[in-house]
């Protein structure tokens, strides 16, 4: 079987030197630092059955229909009148990695997937709704400023004139002993010098986890845990003019009386006599079971679940897949640490009966040809937000299957033990899959229909020299 070979570094092919002049042709390319992908053999589809949200290139939280693939930091076009204007499309992602002024987007858009998650808090945008929220020396006024979504749905939390802590809380959260949960919220400065704290607490205030943020700078003021609570991790993310703050925690005992609390600080002081006017803005409260904050899930009268994502592209022999020989390269960024959070899938190449390549359920990459399995060395670094290169090449003529990874963008590579490959991999129902996980970003995926060398060492040498640039 042969595939076209094209020249030029920016094209679908690349002809390396020093390897006998053998060219290599990409028969499938997804993204390549933009939103373009080769549709040979079919199109990318997302099986998600619910709406989802994503932060676009302007820092706005967009709500997308079911079935739409998410590209953080990109432009989504949704012209209600159906006209295409200058984008060439009526609705969908714009196939560019620049903003409306032609400025390169940093970071470049990438496919983003998540596991299913449920926002356990009702009235996530209505802090003035007494069915969900209770004031404690505060007053809540609804729809006072523009939210991260770009509409007038963000609320003010205003301190009263009493002495003590000034809080708005939601007490519908039921704790489960030693099970990680994650709380998050968007907050923004209104009154100069007034800051915000996200706090999870039992009824007596003895078991708490908290994170305080300076709303002028976005820097942490303080964080910690008391009693039997444990603060596992924390984050502060700027989203436009807002800050999304989150904490992941565990409680030492089960209880139905734990509260999700937003506390208004006077500078760094938690307990003080209010003046009746100091305020902060808040929007998008979320509590979910899990070890990392996922994308925002809006709620009204009850908890809401975002469905699992599974993005697929059919791989057809002779078009975008070669059963006899091939080279796969991936560039991706997990938003969590593989060494801590296992049991999720990231991506795979698999048929209806087995897989050729996958990153799932373990702390390494694995390849399986139907008879035997080979793996890479385990991930050594903290993989949270680490950009990773991954590779598999296989050949019936070499009777070899080799898998590798780089945790430093190609500076060093770690290769697994070589396995055999006799072509027994069943291609019936063969697909490339990007699986729902805690939140990985796939920057690019390339599948070549031939190898850039005639020995394992030659191919490894080519990958080590070129993979960082090609993907």
pLDDT value, residue 358 = 83
Domains 13-45+310-470 and 117-306 share a fold: yes
pLDDT grade for 2, boundaries at 50, 70 and 90: very low
How confident is the model at residue 246, as a pLDDT? 98
Every domain of the chain and the residues it spans: 13-45+310-470, 117-306
Nearest CA to 235 out of 259, 215, 214, 211 is that of 211
Looking at the predicted structure, is the pLDDT value of residue 71 above 80?
yes
pLDDT tops 70 at residue 431: yes
Q: Is the pLDDT of residue 11 over 50?
A: no
Q: What is the pLDDT of residues 52-69, one digit of tens each?
A: 999 987 889 989 889 888
**Pick from 156-170, 203-217, 258-272, 308-322: least confident:** 308-322
pLDDT tens for each residue of 371-420: 678 889 888 878 888 889 999 999 999 999 999 999 998 999 999 999 98
**Among 1.20.272, 3.30.70, 2.60.120, 2.40.128, what is the CATH number of 13-45+310-470?**
2.60.120
Q: What is the mean pLDDT of the chain?
A: 83
* Residue entry with tokens 């959070």: 341
* Cβ atoms 157, 165 nearer than 8 A: no
The pLDDT assigned to 21 comes to: 38
Can you tell me the distance from the alpha carbon of 77 to that of 54, in angstroms, rounded to the nearest whole number?
A: 14
- The pLDDT of 192-212, averaged and rounded, is 94
For residue 107, name the pLDDT band (cuts at 50, 70, 90): low
Which range is least confidently modeled, 20-29, 97-106, 156-165, 189-198? Answer: 97-106
Is the confidence at residue 51, as pLDDT, over 80?
A: yes
Separation CA 331–CA 442 (nearest Å)? 6
* Tokens representing residue 368 in the block: 């399986």
Q: DSSP for 178-190, please give it.
A: T--EEEEEEEEE-
Q: What's residue 12's pLDDT?
A: 34
- How large is the average pLDDT for residues 81-88? 44
pLDDT digits (tens, 9 = 90+) for 254-289: 776 678 999 999 999 999 999 999 999 999 999 999
**Residue for token pair 């943020």:** 213
pLDDT category, 110, cuts 50, 70, 90? Answer: confident
Q: Is the pLDDT of residue 210 over 60?
A: yes
Q: Which residues contact 438 (CB under 8 A, 6 or more apart)?
A: 114, 115, 290, 291, 292, 294, 334, 335, 336, 341, 344
Residue 225: count of CB within 10 angstroms of its CB: 18
Q: What would the DSSP string read from start to end of 234-298?
A: EEEEEETTEEEEEEEEEBSS-EEEEEEEEEEEETTBSEEE--S--EEEEEEEEEEESSS--S---
Task: Flag the least confident range among 10-14, 314-318, 331-335, 435-439.
Answer: 10-14
The CATH class of 117-306 is mainly beta
Residue 192 pLDDT level (bands cut at 50, 70, 90) = very high
């Amino acid at each position: 079987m042969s595939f076209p070979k094209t020249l030029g570094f920016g094209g679908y092919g690349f002809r390396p030197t020093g390897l006998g002049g053998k060219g290599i042709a990409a028969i499938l390319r997804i993204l390549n630092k933009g939103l373009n992908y080769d549709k040979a053999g079919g199109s990318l589809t997302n099986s998600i059955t619910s709406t989802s949200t994503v932060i676009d290139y302007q820092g706005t939280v967009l709500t997308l229909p079911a079935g739409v693939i998410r590209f953080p930091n990109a432009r989504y076009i949704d012209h209600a009148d159906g006209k295409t204007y200058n984008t060439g499309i009526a609705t969908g992602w714009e196939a560019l990695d620049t903003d409306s002024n032609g400025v390169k987007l940093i970071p470049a858009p990438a496919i983003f997937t998540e596991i299913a998650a449920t926002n356990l808090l009702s009235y996530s945008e209505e802090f003035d709704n007494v069915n969900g929220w209770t004031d404690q020396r505060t007053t809540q006024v609804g729809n006072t400023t523009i939210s991260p979504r770009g509409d007038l749905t963000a609320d003010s939390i205003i301190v009263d004139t009493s002495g003590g802590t000034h809080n708005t809380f939601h007490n519908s959260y039921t704790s489960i002993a030693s099970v990680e949960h994650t709380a998050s919220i968007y907050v923004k400065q209104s009154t100069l010098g007034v800051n915000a704290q996200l706090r999870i607490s039992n009824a007596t205030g003895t078991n708490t986890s908290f994170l305080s943020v300076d709303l002028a700078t976005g820097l942490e003021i303080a964080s910690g845990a008391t009693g039997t609570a444990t603060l596992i991790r924390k984050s502060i993310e700027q989203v436009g003019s807002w800050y999304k703050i989150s904490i992941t925690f565990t409680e030492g005992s089960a209880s139905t009386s734990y509260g999700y609390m937003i506390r208004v600080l006077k500078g760094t002081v938690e307990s003080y006599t209010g003046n009746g006017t100091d305020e902060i803005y808040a929007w998008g409260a979320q509590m979910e079971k899990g070890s990392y904050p996922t994308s925002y899930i809006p709620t009204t009268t009850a908890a809401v679940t975002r469905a699992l994502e599974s993005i697929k592209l059919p791989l057809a022999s002779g078009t975008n897949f070669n059963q006899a020989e091939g080279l796969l390269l991936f560039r991706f960024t997990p938003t969590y640490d593989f060494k801590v959070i296992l049991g999720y899938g990231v991506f795979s190449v698999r048929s209806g009966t087995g897989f050729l390549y996958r990153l799932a359920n373990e702390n390494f990459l694995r390849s399986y040809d139907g008879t035997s399995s080979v793996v890479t060395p385990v991930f050594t670094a903290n993989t949270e937000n680490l950009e990773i290169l991954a590779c598999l090449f296989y050949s019936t003529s070499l009777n070899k299957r080799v898998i590798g990874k780089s945790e430093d963008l190609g500076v060093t590579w770690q290769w697994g033990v070589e396995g055999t490959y006799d072509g027994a991999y069943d291609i019936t129902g063969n697909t490339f899959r990007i699986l729902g996980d805690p939140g990985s970003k796939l920057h690019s995926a390339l599948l070549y229909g031939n190898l850039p060398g005639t020995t394992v060492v030659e191919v490894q040498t080519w990958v080590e020299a070129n993979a960082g640039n090609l993907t």
